[in-house]
Amino acid sequence: MHLVLVGTSHHHAPVELRERVALDPEQAHALAEQLGEAVVLSTCNRTEVYVAAEDADDAERRAVAALADVEPALYRLRDRAAALHLFRVAAGLDSLVPGEGEILGQVRAAHEHGTPGLLLDRLFRNALHAGRKVRTQTAIGESPSSVSAAAAALAEQVFGDLDGCRILMIGTGEVGEQAARNLRTRGAEIVLTANSKTDRDELAAQLAAVDVVVSSTSSPDVVLDAETVERNRHGRQLLLIDLAVPRDLDPAIHELDGCFLYDIDDLQAIVVETLAGRRSEAERAETIVAAEAEKFHEWHASLDVVPAIASLRAHAEEIREAELRKAEPVLGRLDESQRSAVESLTAQIVNKLLHLPTVRMKQAAAAADGVIYADAVRHLFGLEDER
């Protein structure tokens, strides 16, 4: 069984491309069902499709077709590389803001909305474990540890002091709540918290009374367009921060005099400023992730030889039991303790004979030679018919 990953992220595509393949939880679940054993991870920064399949080429073609709108920006990874990538994602090492904590919950939600079988279930559970381990054993998540925190830091950079700064929050989800919390801790006042369904006139009326607009809804359409902003701000200067994918705020707002619009990609400048202090912690996190990913790889590789090992042991046990039956005329004269000693002795002989071949096959599996060893064992012991 192969692991296939097809996706795009902020490393490969700007927000105007990523928003074309942004999926809500229901859409992600529908796509996973369509692909079979699959999990779809769709956040502001990435849309990634993980598929487990015997035919890796076919699985990759189907996943690429599902994300065809951004095909030139897609990356494709398989097996070991795909697993390591997810482990890094869950640990926040591949995020726009390294170490941000929101991604761990997003990976968990993707797992819950997917259609995982044995392979993907184990992959995502292990990735979540690695992510939690990084957060508890390193300080990579120190401030600003999320896109929401970075947005608040941007507002503080613009105004210098957020005391008395009035904020219009559009979006009542987790990202919006975290952004509001970060802004309040810096002294800002949240004038109105709205969502994409709030009356547009009510939203527009607030533009003349606020300094900052932060939007993070899941609306597929623009929440505020340039014409509405220009008509209702009455010449007031505005800082607008769009944390949504697809974008909530009309990109044309940036062309208005006195309006300063930043989308999720623009936060990269803030990230760069925080990277130096995190470099040593990121190195520690990478070491943890690599070790956890290697454990998963060894387990995944062992799946190729487990059936052969099981068949070999079953075959040996059948021979042992057959020989004991042949010796029944003699064994029948033994008392219960003597009979038990014979059973134990023959079982130990079988186990000791098979121990080293079992260990060697598992070691070979981790080194990519497992299938060769497994096929050789099947041939040598006549197990082909049991495969």
Quote the CA–CA distance of 307 and 121 in Å, as a whole number.
20
346 near 331, Cβ under 8 Å? Answer: no
The SS3 assignment for 74 reads coil
183 near 241, Cβ under 8 Å? Answer: no
Q: Which residues contact 353 (CB under 8 A, 6 or more apart)?
A: 316
44 is an active site residue: yes
Selecting among 4, 22, 28, 44, the annotated active-site residue is: 44
CA dihedral of residues 102, 290, 41, 151 (deg, nearest 10): 30
Q: Enter the tokens of residue 376.
A: 């050789």
Quote the CA–CA distance of 304 and 361 in Å, as a whole number.
10
Give the number of residues written for the chain: 387
Quote the CA–CA distance of 264 and 150 in Å, as a whole number.
10
Phi–psi pair at 247, nearest 5 degrees: -70, 140
Q: Which residues are catalytic?
A: 44
